[in-house]
Chain A
């Protein structure tokens, strides 16, 4: 695919403005990487293959056919139903994340095509409150599933989340049921749902829609699980086994269909969708 268009926007914006950020250190192999090289390589370390987190807009460009994307998210805005306040009022946190990401909450996506297959793609934004699921994320996913079902589209959700959002407490918890149950609209219409797990996917997101897809793919080395490693360590008071809760570990334990490197993610997704989606299945199978 055309790698250059993936980061087009970033490139046209200020050139050489932040000089120190031109070089990055890979957290896995500690290699110094020229940022442009990293971007050209889909944010995968050219030295060791470590997958850096990919922004949601880049994710959409990576997976959807050029020129097909129409954004559907953004109209659903967060509230502060509990008037939650810990060390900072929830409202202020929301405003801060909104400023940082330019989006109202931790999800972004819309309609498009994956090698011709009509799709509704949603990507969770880890940069917004750790990709946590509150009412907005739940609502966008439920709407996405309903719209995909109504329009005969495949549903693809890219998960990246620390879990349910604490600041919406029980209402966040309820999003697990809401999103899960909305998936059944696709089930009734025999439309495929593919879940792509990226680093990290934990808590209430794993334990609801992310684990319930027809096909589950994961990026290499992603942290995936129910409880976070710190909580588990505290509970069992032992060190955790090597590679515990990483994609490869989950594949071994039967929880995933495939671990797919980012460079092959689009083609693998397209293959699955072509085989499952009624249009693709018919034209190729008949």
Chain B
């Protein structure tokens, strides 16, 4: 299931494959032709990805095959053990949490989890947590504080679930509490936006000392579709809304909302998840190391200062 703007790239790749197979089969030398096509492919890929519209990036951020929280806990971290449940009501499969080892030290990890198939997605509620998910996340923050382990959060949600049961159990309340709890962490906290950073449901685990974002991820107060439905009264205007919202990694870096962009391999993280995760591991290691000298109170103050300066106002 390729994205529209990926089609020419995929077609060229297919042609190169065919030529290779043909050359092998007939035992002829087509290396010049193949080399030319390879160059063309690289150029095409570079051009396409250098000129992506914001809406195209939103599509990339949602592309199946991008590294999810479960991929990262298996590949970036070692010795991961999943911990379930909010100790109050249920376990929320839209949030994965647990203990792991990173570069030799224990860490606590929490992340949204989408499925890779429709069946998985239904089980994971498309990565949209209920209040239980945020209560589980807060349990993990308690655990990180109690043992002094760094806290790493991985964000990938269209938003917190907007449903009757979620409202009845205080969706707004747990999001607020989770923001507050994460702000109070006395250990280093790094948040990474992996794919979709949908509003309060994302921010609930986004209050890091450092906030990182994958190159093709988005983060905003509302999804382009919902924004279009409200402001343009037409969900089909999502492309225009994506432009207006300035929701890409580069926009957010400029606005000071994120601290660092984790580069994705050519073609996007969904096509080369291992390389994307390697880049993420390196960035994460550097950020955690940079936070290491800060004491518990300094970390709280650092986080407050980071978010306190957010916004654009003029004082008269």
Contact = CB atoms under 8 A, between A and B. Distances in A.
Nearest to A236: B163
A180 B244 contact: no
11 contacts: A77-B316, A136-B313, A170-B221, A176-B179, A178-B311, A180-B179, A206-B176, A207-B204, A208-B179, A212-B177, A240-B164
Contacts of B222: 164, 166, 169
A19 interface: no
Interface string A119-157: 000000000000000111011001000000000000000
B199 A204 contact: yes
Interface residues of A, number: 61
Contacts of B219: 170, 173
A166 B170 CA distance: 23
A29 interface: no
A233 to B, nearest CB: 10
A34 interface: no
Contacts of A204: 199-200, 221
Interface stretch (A47-55, A223-231, A260-268, A271-279): A223-231
A211 B310 contact: no
Contacts of A134: 311
The number of chain B residues touching the other chain, given as a range, is 35 or more
A225 B167 contact: yes
Interface stretch (B34-42, B43-51, B301-309): B301-309
A236 B164 contact: yes
Given A169-B247, A170-B252, A255 B176 contact: no
B313 A78 contact: yes
A194 to B, nearest CB: 15
A177 to B, nearest CB: 4
Given A77-B314, A139-B311, 4 more contacts: A139-B313, A171-B255, A171-B311, A181-B207
Nearest to B311: A135
Interface of B: 160-164, 166-173, 175-177, 179-180, 183-184, 199-200, 203-204, 206-207, 219-222, 226-227, 230-232, 240-241, 244-247, 251-252, 255, 257, 303-304, 307-308, 310-316
Interface SS of chain B: helix
B164 A232 contact: yes
Interface string A54-95: 000000000000000000000111111110111100000000
Given A180-B179, A226-B172, A173 B167 contact: no
Contacts of B227: 166
A94 B176 CA distance: 28
B315 A76 contact: yes
Contacts of A177: 179, 183, 203, 206-207, 307, 310
Contact of B312 (A135, A202, A231, A235): A135
Nearest to B310: A174
A236 B167 CA distance: 13
Contacts of B314: 76-79
A227 B246 contact: no
Which 6 pairs between the two chains have the least Cβ-Cβ distance?
A135-B311, A227-B162, A81-B312, A174-B310, A206-B172, A226-B172
A86 B227 CA distance: 10
A142 B304 CA distance: 11
A236 B230 CA distance: 19
B308 A178 contact: yes
Contacts of B257: 170-171, 174
Nearest to A249: B168
A188 B177 CA distance: 17
Contacts of B170: 211, 253-255
B250 to A, nearest CB: 12
Nearest to A232: B162
Contacts of A172: 221
B172 A225 contact: yes
Contacts of B316: 75-77
B303 A75 contact: no
Given A87-B232, A166-B227, A171 B310 contact: yes
A258 interface: no
A226 B175 contact: yes
A176 B203 CA distance: 8
A227 B171 contact: yes
A76 B241 CA distance: 27
A169 B152 CA distance: 24
A178 B163 CA distance: 27
